């Protein structure tokens, strides 16, 4: 085994990463023998690792050419970084200001398939740790940020993610089917959830559109239910959330536009089972 792989605790992981890096540096597909030669790997090991990468979509095998190239999953990782890295850079300080203004925890999340991935969490002082830390992945339809991003999709786009969206319910205990819930989100201009992500907490989210008007992220405030839950996020706090989202959009190159019309959060908000 080459010394470069022997120095790490998990040499197989190092070998896989070396293959991915190597494939990404090539001008076109390459043969397994070239991979083995240039990375000083045993041929049998190279074939086993390439087969594992192909099975997970990180690499693709071109049988007619007897060559390998990067696969769609590797592309998703690259585009995911391209989405998240700029957001992390531009959003950190605006989110800190938002938390200082509202005293609630703020999150920024992006959509990947039927999940959201949390890019940033800025926790409010003395608030308990939530499950929505940076890097965490959760089902989009259960989160406020996911719902506000799904609400920006066309019917065809939604069906591509959920072949039967009517069968997707809005809460653990049933509730409104996903199309009806998203229609209400579109009408109000924001999304919400109560006790769906963390028991005892509620969240409200608004979209963050880029220069094309496409919502690239969901910006969320989360409050403990003891502070009246979702109702506590109404009024001035929701305005702060919208202003922060508008600032993030401007930093992404979007032109200033009139603020969205947001309906008031009702005094008696329906419980999770009614959604």
Name the band, by pLDDT with cuts 50, 70 and 90, for residue 11: confident
d(CA 105, CA 25): 41
pLDDT tens figures, 68-99: 998 888 877 776 666 666 778 888 899 999 99
Q: How many helices (H) and strands (E) does the chain have?
A: 9, 10
Q: Examine the fold and report which residue of 17, 39, 70 is the final residue of a domain before the chain moves on.
A: 70
Bridge partner list, 241: none
Strands (DSSP E) contained in the chain are 59-62, 67-70, 105-112, 115-122, 137-139, 169-171, 174-177, 191-194, 201-209, 215-224
In a shared domain, residues 114 and 151: yes
Which of 58-62, 118-122, 258-262, 264-268 shows the lowest mean pLDDT across its residues? 264-268
Q: Domain of 20: which CATH number?
A: 1.10.10.10
Q: How many domains does the chain fold into?
A: 2
Average pLDDT over residues 18-35: 92
Residue span of the structural domain in which 146 resides: 75-274
pLDDT tens figures, 134-180: 778 899 998 999 999 999 998 888 888 888 877 787 665 566 788 88
The residue with greater pLDDT, 77 or 236, is 77
In a shared domain, residues 45 and 124: no
* Residues above pLDDT 70, as percent of the chain: 80
Buried b (16+ CB within 10 A) or exposed e, 261-274: ebeebeeebeebee
User: Full-prediction pTM beyond 0.85?
Assistant: no
Give the H or E element holding residue 20.
Answer: helix 11-25
Statement: residue 114 has pLDDT above 70: yes
d(CA 47, CA 42): 9
Query: Exposed, middle or buried by CB within 10 Å (0-12, 13-18, 19+), for 249?
Result: buried
In a shared domain, residues 83 and 44: no
């Amino acid at each position: 085994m080459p010394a470069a792989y022997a120095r790490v605790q998990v040499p197989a992981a190092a070998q896989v990463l070396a293959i991915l890096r190597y494939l990404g540096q090539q001008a076109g597909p390459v043969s397994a023998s070239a991979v083995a030669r240039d990375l000083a790997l045993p041929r049998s090991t190279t074939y086993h690792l390439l087969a594992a990468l192909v099975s997970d979509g990180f690499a693709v095998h071109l049988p007619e050419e007897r060559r390998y190239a990067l696969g769609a999953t590797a592309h998703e990782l690259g585009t995911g970084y391209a989405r998240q890295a700029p957001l992390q850079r531009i959003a950190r300080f605006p989110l800190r200001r938002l938390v200082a203004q509202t005293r609630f925890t703020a999150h920024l999340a992006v959509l990947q398939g039927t999940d959201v991935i949390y890019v940033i969490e800025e926790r409010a002082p003395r608030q308990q740790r939530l499950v929505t830390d940076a890097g965490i992945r959760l089902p989009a339809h259960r989160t406020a940020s996911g719902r506000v991003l799904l609400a920006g999709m066309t019917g065809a786009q939604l069906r591509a993610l959920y072949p039967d969206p009517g069968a997707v319910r809005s809460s653990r205990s049933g509730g409104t089917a996903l199309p009806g819930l998203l229609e209400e989100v579109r009408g109000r201009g924001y999304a919400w959830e109560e006790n769906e992500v963390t028991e005892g907490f509620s969240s409200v989210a608004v979209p963050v559109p880029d220069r094309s008007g496409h919502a690239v992220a969901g910006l969320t405030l989360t409050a403990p239910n003891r502070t009246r839950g979702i109702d506590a996020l109404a009024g001035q706090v929701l305005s702060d959330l919208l202003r922060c989202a508008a600032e993030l959009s401007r930093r992404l190159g979007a032109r200033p536009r009139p603020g969205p019309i947001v309906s008031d959060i009702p005094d008696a908000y329906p419980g999770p089972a009614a959604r």
